[in-house]
Amino acid sequence: MLLACCSFSILLKRQLKDQLPGGIYYEPSDAVREETANCPKHNIISERDFSHLDRQLKIKATASTVAISGLICFLNNGTGEYLENVDDQTRKQLIATVIKKAPEKRKESHIKQKAIKESKMKKMEEHKEKKEKQAVAKELLKEQVTSDLVSCGGLWTTDEIMDQNLGNKDEKKKRKDIIIQLRYRRIVLEQKQKVLLQVTSQGKPVPTETLYNNLKLLIENKESPEEAPANDQVRNKITKEDRQAQITETIKRKSLDSADSAISPNKTTLPELVKKTILHKWETEEEGEKWCKGKVLKALHDISSIGCLFTVEYQDGTFDVPLYEDFQKGDLVIMNQWYSIVNSVKT
């Protein structure tokens, strides 16, 4: 109750600030008092009008707003009583004038309604365009982050892979690669441990050693102290090896689930691969393993077959390759899908 009263007090102070001490109407002058002498001290009339409007809309569902507005004004202004107290000639003259001006008033109402509708449609279109631009920018950002990830050896899923990729790099390069890994986990994988994913704190860069430890916690799927559960005894029963085995199994399952969805016999899934930008792992005698960027142009066979060939345009040329097979192995990255796994887990 106390909390509700405090909230209500804050709301009233904001809404009645002009009437409270220091407000422009806290001590009104005589001129202001005289000017506002006939102003209503409540909103009963407007509430009554809206009630009458709601009732008329239920009774006369097809009536226009201007027609219902006329009825409400007729009632509030006492027009009926006025017409009863005038002579017949004046009453006929007034009615004739109203009938003559009615088409003009209806036309003005239609123009006003049309302008309101156009304004609403314009706002809806602007909102839609803004959402589309945000979606495109988000997809481009995901593609850029994924490309940066490939340049530092793919997604690090174990401490050993992380230490192997960092190797003997200098401090600046280590920090850059760690930040790339954190950005990928935050933007593409959308992990929720915000404290561990931060690269700055209170406007200052987080130390590289702290970033390194945070990334290790994320790889091990541990939670930060602020987000840890209260029951530490249950969590401590899970050993590091058991936790790593669970993470590995989860990554493998996500990779296989993504591949299964891609080879579904339902042809509506075809656009998920065709016309998409991909990163494809190739093995050559000269360079060994190499990730190549390409554009999927078309499918050459029925997509219900896992051996379906796709025509892909790479920088070095156009080739027909079985993308589903490589995707199932983890050798294919669909750059604009959050579930893409760059560094596949080998069994």
pLDDT tens profile 28-71: 888 888 888 888 888 888 898 889 889 888 888 888 888 888 88
SS3 128: helix
Q: Which of 116-120, 147-151, 340-344 is least confident?
A: 340-344
Cα separation, 145 vs 137, in Å, equals 12
Q: How many CB atoms lie within 10 A of CB 161?
A: 15
Of 94 and 345, the one with more pLDDT: 94
- 336 Cα distance to chain centroid: 16
Residues 6+ apart with CB under 8 A from 315: 292, 293, 294
Residue reference for tokens 């009233």: 12
Domain ranges of the chain: 255-347
Q: 188-205: string of b/e by CB count within 10 Å (b at 16+)?
A: beeeebeebbeeeeeeee
Of 347 and 239, the one with more pLDDT: 239
Query: Which residues are bridge partners to 334 per DSSP?
Result: 278
Summarised one tens digit per residue, pLDDT across range 76-127 is: 888 888 988 999 999 999 999 989 998 998 899 889 889 999 999 999 999 9
pLDDT at position 246: 54
Summarised one tens digit per residue, pLDDT across range 9-28 is: 888 888 888 888 888 888 88
The three-point CA angle 288-298-331 to 5° equals: 30
pLDDT at position 277: 85
Q: 52-66: string of b/e by CB count within 10 Å (b at 16+)?
A: eeeebeeeeeeeeee
Q: Which of 133-147, 226-240, 251-265 is least confident?
A: 226-240
**Is it true that domain 255-347 has CATH number 2.80.10.70?**
yes
Structure confidence at residue 130 as a pLDDT band (50, 70, 90): very high
Exposed/middle/buried for residue 323 (C-beta within 10 Å: 0-12, 13-18, 19+): buried
Asked if 172 contacts 204 with a C-beta cutoff of 8 angstroms, the reply is: no
Q: Which of 134-148, 191-205, 225-239 is least confident?
A: 225-239
Cα separation, 342 vs 347, in Å, equals 16
Cα separation, 320 vs 300, in Å, equals 8
Most confident region among 116-120, 222-226, 255-259, 316-320 by mean pLDDT: 116-120
Summarised one tens digit per residue, pLDDT across range 289-328 is: 778 888 888 888 776 677 788 888 888 888 888 888 887 7
276 token code pair: 């998409």
